[in-house]
Amino acid sequence: PVQRRTGSSDDEEPRRLALAMWYVFDKELEEFVPTYQDSKQTSRPDSNSRRKGAKPKKVYDPNDPAAPKELFAIPIPNHMKIDSLLQSMGTYLARKSQESRSMWKVNMYGEDALHVLFQDHSAMFSLDFGIALDESSVTEYADSSVLVERHTDGRKPASLQYMLQESVMLHGVLDALSKLILEYVKEDEERYLIKEVEKARMTLPARRA
């Protein structure tokens, strides 16, 4: 299922406000955006048991320069808890942020998404968990996905440094997702998911290190 989005949609303003929050340089404003670690401390205690229906993928105006660019979607096995995967990936990305000396800043967005902002504020990428797969991609194993998108402010493209570092981070994201997801699948599912991960890896502009 696809939910069509128009310029007059009621939720258009919150999306732009969220983007604006990521691109501010005022430190006093930035502290109102909770980090992943802060958000995790306030998460619901029963979140690990939550498995929701797949969320429809949003469709943006193709003429909107600030519309996110879809990079890839990795299927989530139907029997896997989405919140468990989200928390594991949040912990992984927070650790990578520390290792990179805060080159990246990881934040929760809503209940089911992680936003990863680059230090030069030229762009960020997001991981949105539980997004419905395209009808042609739905299988007996999975009907939802982790959708990965790139965001800019629409006024200038992502910097060259961002693009290079994004590829490094996303190769790591694919490795981490593979490890977490493949623990939950059988042989037939494993072949299918490995193929999907490698297909996503081929879309990245820089090769795996």
* Structural contact between residues 5 and 59, judged by C-beta atoms closer than 8 angstroms: yes
Rounded CA separation 196/190 (Å): 10
Question: What per-residue confidence (pLDDT) applies to 36?
Answer: 54
Count of Cβ atoms closer than 10 Å to residue 50 Cβ:
15
* Structural contact between residues 65 and 154, judged by C-beta atoms closer than 8 angstroms: yes
Only one residue has tokens 């205690």, namely 45
pLDDT at 3 over 70: no
Question: What per-residue confidence (pLDDT) applies to 38?
Answer: 55
pTM: 0.77
- What's the pLDDT tens digit per position in 34-52? 455 555 544 444 444 445 5
Question: What per-residue confidence (pLDDT) applies to 101?
Answer: 87
What is the rounded average pLDDT for all residues in the chain? Answer: 81
pLDDT at 129 over 50: yes
Q: Name the DSSP letter for residue 121.
A: S
Question: What per-residue confidence (pLDDT) applies to 76?
Answer: 94
Question: What per-residue confidence (pLDDT) applies to 24?
Answer: 44
